[in-house]
Amino acid sequence: MQTQTSQTETVQLPQTLEPRNPGMELDLDWVMRATANRSAIERRAATLPKRRSVKKAYQAAWLCRAITCIDLTTLAGDDTAGRVKRLCAKARQPVRGDLLAALGMDGLTVGAVCVYHDMVETAVDALAGSGIPVAAVSTGFPAGLSPFHLRVAEIEESVKAGAAEIDIVISRRHVLTGDWTALYDEMKAFRAACGEAHVKAILATGELGTLQNVARASLVCMMAGADFIKTSTGKESVNATLPVSLVMIRAIRDYFEQTGYRVGYKPAGGISKAKDALVYLAMMKEELGDRWVQNDLFRFGASSLLGDIERQLEHHVTGAYSASWRHAAG
């Protein structure tokens, strides 16, 4: 019995099974061949939320999977050490203990905790022994317009403080002007500064103008060694959308087919409901396969999603919904 319990608990912990994407030389021919058929993409995206959702035990299982893929985030100007510590406590136990016990999911945790650089050490201390990594936003987040040497130094300081994952923002002007070499060189420098820490490239897709630009920027960042590509900072007027997500994950599929390296995907901003999480998980499974619905290759950037998932799980266990204010915003 002890052996079975140990194996079950191990399965619930984040699993890193893939070799890191080492990047490759910039292939401008490949980049310029990347296109996006907006009408076809929008038709495909429109079908996803209209399908009949999974129900009952299957829904609960998928929602538990979604929890393991959440980067629990606080990126507010009024963040304090106390707020970050409370967030880390929620990361350790994202759902009430009695609900987890009823679901047979004791030991369930989120994928990571994401904070500003100043809060990295606080988060690392609060999560000590949990196995939950700390992610830090960097490189002049959210605009990415600070001097280049300061952006690189910020990455290095966050890694030194204990961040295991770095969410960097690209210079949108390189995409808008078609300067793919500059974008590649910038991303390559950021990857080098991260060292062993995994790097997530935030494209800020709402500011890139076209889906074609999103596809090309995704490819360039992967060629430069990004471990993840991420939609948004969460601060733009338009954040994660299904059409943009389709473009990015198809770029990931193309890159994998050409190089054999899997790159992760992180939608961020505007995903606050459990039903939205199910749509994204279904899309990842259909477009990329089961391997991409594990948390070393898929994350949600979210601050309020966890609260709604907990409400849905409580309804599954007890048959009744609780008021939303009873759940931490997460």
* Closest listed residue to residue 48, CA positions, set 289, 316, 229, 276: 276
Per the CB < 8 A criterion, the answer to whether 136 and 158 are in contact is: yes
Maximum Cα interatomic distance, the chain, rounded to a whole number of Å: 61
- Given 200, 230, 276, 296, the catalytic residue: 230
Per the CB < 8 A criterion, the answer to whether 165 and 193 are in contact is: no
Tell me phi and psi for residue 254, to 5 degrees.
-60, -45
Name the DSSP letter for residue 245.
H
- Tokens found for residue 250: 């198809």
To the query of whether residue 50 is one of the catalytic residues in this protein, the response is: no
> Quick one: 102 exposed, middle or buried, by C-beta within 10 A (0-12, 13-18, 19+)?
middle
To the query of whether residue 56 is one of the catalytic residues in this protein, the response is: no
104-109 contacts at long range (C-beta below 8 A, 24 or more positions apart): 105/12, 105/64, 106/9, 107/9, 107/12, 107/13, 108/12, 108/64, 108/67, 108/68, 109/12, 109/13, 109/14, 109/67, 109/68
- Given 71, 90, 167, 308, the catalytic residue: 167
Tell me phi and psi for residue 317, to 5 degrees.
-80, -40
- Given 90, 188, 200, 266, the catalytic residue: 266
CA distance 269 to 310: 19
To the query of whether residue 266 is one of the catalytic residues in this protein, the response is: yes
Residues recognised as catalytic: 167, 230, 266
